[in-house]
Structure 1
Amino acid sequence: MQFTDGEIKDIVWKKLTHFKDHRGWLCELFRHDDIPTEFHPVMAYISMTEPGISRGPHEHIDQADYFCFYGPSNFKVYLWDARKDSPTYGKRDVRVVGADNPFALIVPKGVVHAYKNVGNVQGLVFNAANRLYKGWGRKEAVDEIRHEEAAGSPYQLD
């Protein structure tokens, strides 16, 4: 499958703003009144990624992710619309976000996604998913299709 560059339907990019004063800064990561109901978080986690390291590509069958890239590094984010019923099926969107360009990003189910730390320092990413990892009590299968090591995968990072 070949992907062409372009915006992807149902992806939500939200600029994050740092409110600064003499004490430091504050950044609102999410508000229920800013997010469509189907994406309301039920759990949250933070991850650290070393410089030059990527996570993904993978997709979820039923889960949406709400990522926040705010620093202290920058990340190259890759999105591929693999939803056959989507009007933007076959589109790829790649952006650099993080310390220099803080953004929140909603990735709906069926959109393949990956990110790579393209900075020189460890980078933090916040995620507030709308499904529990491995379900209630961690008793279900992980809702994830991994493409990282699939031979001939169309989901390539540059």
Structure 2
Amino acid sequence: MEGLQIKQVLLYRDQRGWLGEISREDESELKPAMSYLSMTRPGLVRGPHEHREQTDCFCFVGKFRLYFWDNRESSPTYREKKIIDTTDSATVAVVPPGIVHAYKNIGIVDGLVINLPDRLYKGWGKTEPVD
């Protein structure tokens, strides 16, 4: 799907646990405006929704099923659908504007999601409409 980026996060493990890089300025043009963390219980879904202007950079930690469909009429992948199952590791999904997205926790434990969108939720001071 044009513009959709999916990558496994390389986890550096030691006796304390692990560390993984979600985004690096020298590897991505993404410029996050904010970040947030959410938890999704097993079997539950968030979405679907789409943004007209915002690019999302999600990091999924846990087992998730990711759903995408291209709603951009000018895109060569218009109306294409994609479903991706993540592993117990960490997976990054960069979702450009116009791609409808949703996700479901398909694991047996709570799953974590970090998002680094390039727009502020409800704009500066939370005074604008939601994109």
TM bucket (normalised to shorter chain) is over 0.9
5+ residue gaps, structure 2, are: none
Determine if contact 1:12/1:107 at 8 Å carries over to the other structure: yes
Which aligned pairs between 1:1-158 and structure 2 lie closer than 5 A? 8-36=1-29, 39-71=30-62, 74-99=63-88, 101-143=89-131
In structure 1, stretches of 5+ residues that fail to align are 1-7, 144-158
TM-score by structure 1 length?
0.80
Structure 1: how far apart are the matches of 2:116 and 2:87?
A: 17
Deviations 1:51-78 (A, max 9, x none): 110001100011110000122xx10000
If the length of structure 2 is used for normalisation, what is the TM-score? 0.96
Q: Any conservation in 2 of the 1:69–1:98 contact (CA below 8 Å)?
A: no
The answer to which of 105-114 and 22-31 deviates more is 22-31
Instruction: Return the index of the structure with the highest Cα Rg.
Output: 1
* Number of residue-to-residue matches in the alignment: 131
Shift of 1:140: 0.1
Partner of 1:150: none
Shift of 1:134: 0.2
Q: Distance in 1 between matches of 2:108 and 2:100?
A: 26
Superposed displacement of residue 98, structure 1: 4.2
- Runs of 4+ aligned residues of structure 1 deviating over 4 Å after TM superposition are none
